[in-house]
Amino acid sequence: MNELPSSSDSGQSTQTGQAPQQAEPAASRPNVQNDNASGLRQALVPVYAGLGLVAALLAAQWWSSQHEIRGLREEVAQRLKTDESLSTETKLIAKTVQDGMKELQAKVNVLEGKQVEAQSQQLALEQLYQELSKNRDDWALAEIEQVLSTASQQLQLAGNVQGAIIALQNADNRLSRSDKPQFIIIRRAIARDLERLKSLPTVDLTGIALRLDSVIGQIDSMPLLSDEKPVVAATQPKVSRHAPKAAEKAAPAKPSRASDWLGDLEDKWNSWSNEMWTEIRQLIRVRNVDVPDALLLSPSQAYYARENLKLRLLNARMALLTRNEPTFRNDLLAAQDAISRYFDTRAKQTQTTQALLRQIQASNVSIEMPTLADSLNAVRNYKAKP
């Protein structure tokens, strides 16, 4: 800002600049002072205008600053409110995240525990697998030995040839999977036992057992000696001695009526006499019984006699299936003896049963069964090697 000149300065200037004019007259000094005052006022007008403008600008600046400050305060307050709400939400989210982290940490701990357990189980399984892989051959040979031992026992006790063949074939297939040259000796022994079993003669055990079942089924229909019912004999009855005479008389033709009447009468008489003779023969019967007690069997004793015979035949069937030939023969002989003692041997059914039993007894069921000693010894010798 322009500073106003002071009176001293103006005086000095007038003294210096107007030194030659000091000789002017004194009457002209008031006019000069008035002119200076008006000039001074004119010079101060722009200054005051500038000061007013500056004041207006300052006022406008102050008002604008206040307005901006007020807006900033409101914005800051709004942002503070927003920040508080965001902070609250952030705290809630942080709490939720913290809870989630705790749950995740618990789950992670559980998973870690399970992982450790799984690792321990895996180690145990690997160790067990290594032990099993080391002893795989020993396990296979032990299993084959057990199978061959069982098949040998069944072969000797029950004559189960087919079961022994299947056991040997399974053992050979098991050894063939290993592809080890050490098993060749065992496979050779198994092959020899297989050839020996396949060369055995076949026995129709099923057919013999079915025949025994058929005999057992016919026991209830076989008549006993103590039965009161007349039994039809197996042989044809003898022709009466009057029958040939009647046939001879009936052959030639009689020309006369008297002879026809006599012939008819004779035929009727012969027919009636034959019927009467047959009835008398059935009413009166003469038997030769070695065991008199067989005729005195009560109904309950007759029932037990049939059941004992069935048990004998069932025992023979069981002995047949177990290849026990002595027991089989003894039971058949006992059954035949019981039939001849208590049953009517003249009846057709009894004779058929006896013939069937004789046919069964003539069957050859005695076959010397081989053993599986070669295969078992080969397996045991291989296992005994160090």
180-215, pLDDT tens digit by residue?
777 888 888 888 888 888 887 776 777 888 888 888
Q: Which residue has the tokens 């004559």?
A: 159
Report if residue 97 sits inside a domain.
no
Radius of gyration of the chain (CA): 71
Q: Are residues 221 and 264 in the same domain?
A: no
User: How far apart are the C-alpha atoms of 123 and 101, rounded to whole Å?
Assistant: 32
Q: Are residues 363 and 378 in the same domain?
A: no
Q: Are residues 363 and 374 in the same domain?
A: no
User: How far apart are the C-alpha atoms of 238 and 9, rounded to whole Å?
Assistant: 201
Q: Output the tens digit of pLDDT for each of the chain's 386 residues.
A: 444 444 444 444 444 444 444 444 444 455 656 677 777 777 777 888 888 888 888 888 888 888 888 888 888 888 888 878 888 888 888 888 888 888 888 888 888 888 888 888 888 888 877 666 556 777 778 888 888 888 888 787 767 778 888 888 888 888 887 767 778 888 888 888 888 888 877 767 778 888 888 888 888 888 877 665 544 444 444 444 444 444 444 444 444 556 677 878 888 888 888 887 877 766 655 555 555 555 556 677 778 888 888 999 999 888 887 777 888 889 999 998 888 888 888 888 888 888 988 888 887 776 677 788 888 888 888 777 75
Q: Which residue has the tokens 């078992």?
A: 376
Q: Are residues 160 and 191 in the same domain?
A: yes
Contacts of 329 by beta carbon, 8 Å cutoff, 6+ apart: 361
Report if residue 37 sits inside a domain.
no
The pTM of the full predicted model, rounded to 2 decimals, is 0.41
Q: Are residues 182 and 275 in the same domain?
A: no
User: How many Cβ atoms are within 10 Å of 331's Cβ, its own excluded?
Assistant: 22
User: How far apart are the C-alpha atoms of 328 and 325, rounded to whole Å?
Assistant: 5
Q: Are residues 301 and 361 in the same domain?
A: yes
Q: How many distinct structural domains can be found in the chain?
A: 3
Report if residue 191 sits inside a domain.
yes
Could you list the residue range(s) of the whole structural domain that residue 349 is in? Answer: 203-226+297-367
Q: Which residue has the tokens 């002072």?
A: 33
User: How far apart are the C-alpha atoms of 65 and 59, rounded to whole Å?
Assistant: 10
User: How far apart are the C-alpha atoms of 81 and 89, rounded to whole Å?
Assistant: 12
Report if residue 62 sits inside a domain.
no
Distances (CA, A) of 359 to 156, 354, 363, 380: 26, 9, 7, 45
